[in-house]
Amino acid sequence: MPDIITLAHGSGGKLTHNLINDIFARHLANDILKQGDDAARFDLPGGRTAFTTDSFVISPVFFRGGDIGKLAVCGTVNDLAASGASPLYLTCGFIIEEGLPLDELERIAASMGHTAKECGVKIVAGDTKVVQKGAADKLFINTSGIGVIASGIEVSGSYAKPGDRVIVTGNIGDHGCTILLEREGLDISSDIQSDCAPLNSMLEEVFSITSDIHVLRDPTRGGLATTLNEIAVQSGVGIQLYENQIPVRDEVRGICELLGMDPLYMANEGKMIVIAPEGPADRILEILRKNRYGMNSRIIGEVVKAPAGRVVMKTVTGGNRVVDMLVGDQLPRIC
């Protein structure tokens, strides 16, 4: 077998089979995937089901703290977890640009297998297509996932209520900042790495002490600011933030200052926003902080009645400012 992906790997012939057996089956194997039929068959436990899909097109495919494979598993697992579901099964589709070194594909598949194991999910079906050079950027991955929601759990972006506390499960902006530095080849030395992580088991720990949680959402693209705006609009409430409570790593703050970016709008891949009534908020915080992915969890604000649909932040000066959604991309400024 040549050591790069060629169009022949996507032809459905012998090379395709080799690719599936040598790489995907080896790293992702489980009893359902082994069925080897056109569709995976399985029974779901009773109760309500959550079902979601996401596509991953990140450049570079390897970055500090993760890779596109880990991201593709965590992203879909976290979307399920944010619906209050325990993720069970994932599918994955690969669109590969010809010329991708096989060892890179293997590292990515291994990373997916490893992450799926950590999450306790099985990858039960998959598909591979190879496209001509230039028709994709190395590798695109789509994952879909299915999970079940335990009885008593009712979360939605439209359930935030005045008086609720807003918790974020750790430092914001690490992923966005890491990718920015790597993509642009900026000559800044730093120790930051992507926070890419699966959050399902942490949230299951929280649900084991209370189901009194109104909203869960992971602040990925668009960052904390955009996600909170979505929630404020969906719930028809205002959100009041306290700038001095929002956890941001010093390096991230420094890099954002230099480049004219705002950490509030930087992507996260291993953080969750938890909105819950004041009563259980402190206990939730305690549980989150015991988990390796939630050690720096903080209450960063509260849900208020007005102004409905807006996020307002009390700044360090004591003044207020509106925190709007991200428009377009954050673009580096001139001075």
User: Where do contacts with other proteins occur on this chain (CB under 8 A)?
Assistant: 184, 186, 244, 250, 253-254, 257, 259-260, 307, 310, 312-322, 324, 327-329, 331-335
Looking at the Cβ atoms of 236 and 260, the one nearer to other proteins is: 260
> CB 223 → other proteins: shortest distance, Å?
14
Looking at the Cβ atoms of 46 and 318, the one nearer to other proteins is: 318
Could you list the beta-strand ranges (E) of the chain. Answer: 48-56, 62-63, 66-67, 85-97, 122-131, 139-149, 165-168, 215-217, 238-242, 273-276, 298-304, 311-314, 320-323
Nearest by Cα to 91 from 101, 103, 104, 77? 77
Looking at the Cβ atoms of 206 and 225, the one nearer to other proteins is: 225
Q: How far apart are CA 51 and CA 64, in angstroms?
A: 30
Looking at the Cβ atoms of 36 and 185, the one nearer to other proteins is: 185
Rg (the chain; Cα; Å): 21
> CB 302 → other proteins: shortest distance, Å?
17
**5 — alpha (psi -120 to 50), left (phi > 0) or beta?**
beta
Q: How far apart are CA 12 and CA 17, in angstroms?
A: 7
Evaluate whether 284 touches 213 at the Cβ level (below 8 Å).
yes
Q: How far apart are CA 244 and CA 18, in angstroms?
A: 55
Evaluate whether 69 touches 187 at the Cβ level (below 8 Å).
no
Looking at the Cβ atoms of 39 and 335, the one nearer to other proteins is: 335
> CB 188 → other proteins: shortest distance, Å?
10
> CB 258 → other proteins: shortest distance, Å?
8
> CB 255 → other proteins: shortest distance, Å?
10
> CB 311 → other proteins: shortest distance, Å?
11
Looking at the Cβ atoms of 25 and 326, the one nearer to other proteins is: 326
Looking at the Cβ atoms of 155 and 267, the one nearer to other proteins is: 267
- Coil vs helix vs strand at 66: strand
DSSP 200: H
- Coil vs helix vs strand at 145: strand
The burial of 41, by beta-carbon neighbours within 10 Å (0-12 exposed, 13-18 middle, 19 or more buried), is given as: exposed
Phi, psi angle pair for 176, to nearest 5°: -55, -40
Looking at the Cβ atoms of 251 and 269, the one nearer to other proteins is: 251
> CB 135 → other proteins: shortest distance, Å?
14
